[in-house]
Amino acid sequence: MTCSRSLSVFQTAFRSCFRTTFTSLLLATAALPAAHAAERITLTNGFDLVCDHRVADGSRVRLYTDASSYVEVNATEIASAVPVELPPAAPSAPATASAHAVTATPAPAAPASARLSDAEIHQLLAAPGQVHDLDVDLLAAVIKQESGGQTHAVSRTGARGLMQLMPGTASQLGVSDAFVPEQNVGGGTAYLDSLLHRYHDNLPLALAAYNAGPGAVDRWHGIPPYPETRAYVARVIHEFNRRVAQRHSMAAHSVTQVASAAIK
């Protein structure tokens, strides 16, 4: 495959050459369930999602992920909507459903953390992104949400490093030191790729599983109604959308500059 995987709301498969095509990316952010008065919405791109509520504004529709967060889509992108009832939401995700958790162990004192620049992160992600056919901007969006680029970040549940691998998960992925950036992103990229395979390239579900664990996603038959997980999925996809839009804007600007130079 010669092109990298990226998210487009008008495409359904990450593993085809639309990966280099940028259309409207924001729709996938709507794939966040609420624990009450929810709707299961089928989108024209094939995604099946649940939203808290929606508000029409002309030809646009705001799909709310909670009381205040929403994403706008074209009304024509909604194929169908069916009311659903979800079990009451837990106040927060249980420890066993914590991000990427296989086993939760107390985190050791981490060495002083270094914050990597966007350029350094992109360079670091180039190889694993190519190996797993994942868009580097998607991986960078995950890193921003997970650790803010801090190489020795440690969460309250013991997740470590740039992509916040739990010790058990890291061990299963062959990562001997989660604080080594190359090992961490290699393992984290492989793990996200495995989740995308598991959920048939449904990015919102894969991200929810990365945060809350596959068991929680399977138990709820979708994104679990944990506020932390819903916010996590929305933020990662929003950041991914922003990065891809910026990338295409810069590419278009470069083409315009070349064309202007040629005219002169």
Residue 30 pLDDT > 80: no
Residue 43: pLDDT band (50, 70, 90) is low
Overall average pLDDT of the 216-238 stretch: 91
Maximum mean pLDDT: which of 87-91, 98-102, 141-145 = 141-145
pLDDT(31) > 80? no
**What's the CA gap between 78 and 243, in Å, rounded?**
25
Instruction: Please name the amino acid found at residue 48.
Output: D
Residue 101 pLDDT: 44
Domain 95-217 fold is Lysozyme (1.10.530)
Higher pLDDT, 130 or 8: 130
C-alpha distances out from residue 79 to 42, 43, 74, Å:
5, 5, 11
The pair of three-digit structure tokens given for residue 176, joined into one six-digit string: 């001997």
- Please say whether the beta carbons of 35 and 88 come within 8 A: yes
Quote the pLDDT of residue 79.
83
User: Above 70 in pLDDT, residue 76?
Assistant: yes
Sorting pLDDT into bands at 50, 70 and 90, what band is 253? low
User: In Å, what is the CA distance from 223 to each residue of 16, 127, 144, 163, 205?
Assistant: 25, 30, 21, 20, 6
Predicted confidence band of residue 68 (pLDDT cuts 50, 70, 90):
low
pLDDT at 139 (0 to 100): 97
Token pair for 56: 């029409």
Are the CB atoms for 41 and 51 separated by under 8 Å? yes
For the chain, domain boundaries = 95-217
Tell me what pLDDT residue 176 has: 96
Burial class (CB in 10 A: 0-12, 13-18, 19+), 105: exposed
Residue numbers annotated as active site: 146
Query: 150: which strand partners?
Result: 115
DSSP structure string for 85-135: --PPPPSS--GGGSTT-SS--PPPPPPPP-BPPHHHHHHHHHHHHHHHT--
Residue 185 has pLDDT above 70, yes or no: yes
Residue that the structure tokens 């395979």 belong to = 197
Question: 3-state DSSP call for residue 48?
Answer: strand
Mean predicted confidence (pLDDT) in 138-160:
93
